[in-house]
Amino acid sequence: MISTLEKEITLKFLKARKKDGFLNVISIFSFIGISLGVAVLIIVMSVMNGFRTELINKIVGFNAHITVKPYENQIEIYDLKKTKLKLISENLILSNSGEAIIIKKDTSKGIVLRGYSADDFSKLKIIKDETFIGNRNNLLKNYISIGKELSFTLNLKIGDDITIMSSSGVETIIGSLPKKKVFTVASLFESGLTDFDNNIAFINLNTLDEFFNLKSEDRNLEIYLKNPQNIENQKFIVQQIFPNNFVYSWADTNSSLFSALKVERNVMFIILSLIIIVAAFNIISGLTILVKNKTRDIAILKSIGVLNKSIVKIFFLIGVIIGTSATIFGIVLGVTFSMYVENLRQFLSTVFNISLFPEEIYFLSTMPSEINPLSIFIISLCSILITIIVSIFPALKAVKLDPVKTLKYE
């Protein structure tokens, strides 16, 4: 416990005096350094969390959360009616895909075709988006839905015809020849990710099976979950339901990307934590000088019977108060900036006429920010722990002063 005397002496030592000018400067810089370190850490972690969430939403919005691919046997229909699957899933959609080549005048381009039934196509999240252009229920026999990026690349618009060559061939008397089919552009979609918009198109599932010589037994099951974030547990449930099929999730297909993001976030946390550590070492300097300046006061306290542990508490409390108050101020500053980081980006872009966070590089039109209470707690805890550790040494040094020698030479 902290006694009233210890509290009063601590507050007295914290008050600025003219003769402690240099000491006050060190204390102020310690406070500012820790505050900025905490604030910058919160801002960076919030932006990286926001970027990760936005990227997940875009990937999840375009791809199935979990995909089940058949090995030798087709996916059994009765498995789709199991209670566990119904509890975690929002939509169950059968699909298939194949690689083809688009031919338009003198231009050719490789593309991945995905097949859906007309009813299932309208259930896709990307099709429900307000950026979608065209008829959502018009994925019929010879119609195709392409990305806006691809429409710009090939100068296509709704109603135009395009020729697509299949990777599967048809046997003739002169050998195997690739299949060709003319499709009419029925709609345009936009996922927000250029790679998807430029390289993937949707056609009718039956048309795709015929175009690539596929059977209904080859069809995949796309599972769209109610909570796609909690992917590992739900993937395990699906694997139990389909033990004889290959099951993979959106996290598996993008594992390298999200591993890189995780490593980058951890490295940034370590690097920026050094700001707090450097600032905290200023507390050692400040408290050491304070002990030196308060030598006479410490000697008087000891001579009137104040215990060594009380003196340790006093100087320890001074360091902790500076560090804790700086941490709290840094949290307020960091959270405030995180909430208005997009407004700040727009302001700086306008004032300096520069492009911060360009959309063509980061796939996002705005700077995302997601304030994570757990991240703030960890940052605050680390900051306060560092402050506590660096406050121990000066506090112990104050105890070692000999009151007799000190008063003799004062």
**pLDDT tens digits for range 257-270:** 777 777 777 787 78
Largest CA distance in the chain: 116
Rounded to whole angstroms, how far apart are CA atoms 184 and 43?
48
H/E segment holding residue 95? strand 89-104
Closest CA to 208 of 72, 116, 279, 122: 116
Q: Are residues 8 and 81 in the same domain?
A: no
**Does residue 218 belong to any structural domain of this protein?**
yes
**Does residue 242 belong to any structural domain of this protein?**
no
Q: Are residues 385 and 277 in the same domain?
A: yes
Q: Are 201 and 97 in contact (CB under 8 A)?
A: no
Torsion of CA 281, 283, 286, 290, to 10 degrees: -130
Rounded to whole angstroms, how far apart are CA atoms 123 and 118?
9
- Strand, coil or helix: what is 377? helix
Rounded to whole angstroms, how far apart are CA atoms 121 and 368?
29
**Does residue 249 belong to any structural domain of this protein?**
no
Q: Are residues 76 and 214 in the same domain?
A: yes
Q: Are residues 44 and 84 in the same domain?
A: no
Q: Are residues 188 and 275 in the same domain?
A: no
Q: Are residues 353 and 221 in the same domain?
A: no
Structure tokens at 381: 């805890």
Query: How many independent structural domains does the chain possess?
Result: 2
**Does residue 157 belong to any structural domain of this protein?**
yes
User: What is the pLDDT, as a whole number, of residue 22?
Assistant: 46
pLDDT truncated to tens, each residue of the chain (410 aa)? 666 766 676 666 666 555 555 456 666 777 788 888 888 888 888 888 888 777 777 777 777 888 888 877 677 666 666 767 777 777 888 888 888 888 877 778 888 899 888 888 888 888 888 888 888 877 888 889 988 888 888 888 888 888 888 877 666 666 567 788 889 888 898 887 777 888 889 999 888 888 888 887 788 888 888 877 777 888 888 888 888 888 888 778 777 777 777 777 778 778 777 777 777 777 777 667 666 666 666 666 666 776 777 777 777 777 778 788 888 998 999 889 888 887 877 777 777 777 666 655 555 667 778 888 888 888 888 888 888 787 777 777 766 665 555 555 55
Q: Where in the sequence is the domain holding 192, given as residue range(s)?
A: 67-227
**Does residue 235 belong to any structural domain of this protein?**
no
pTM beyond 0.75, yes or no: no
Q: Are residues 149 and 170 in the same domain?
A: yes
Tokens 């872009």 found at: 349
DSSP 279-343: HHHHHHHHHHHHHHHTHHHHHHHHHTT--HHHHHHHHHHHHHHHHHHHHHHHHHHHHHHHHTHHH
Closest CA to 144 of 177, 183, 101, 86: 183
Q: How far is CA 83 from the centre of its chain?
A: 32
| Structure letter (DSSP) for residue 357 | S
Q: Are residues 182 and 297 in the same domain?
A: no
**Does residue 245 belong to any structural domain of this protein?**
no
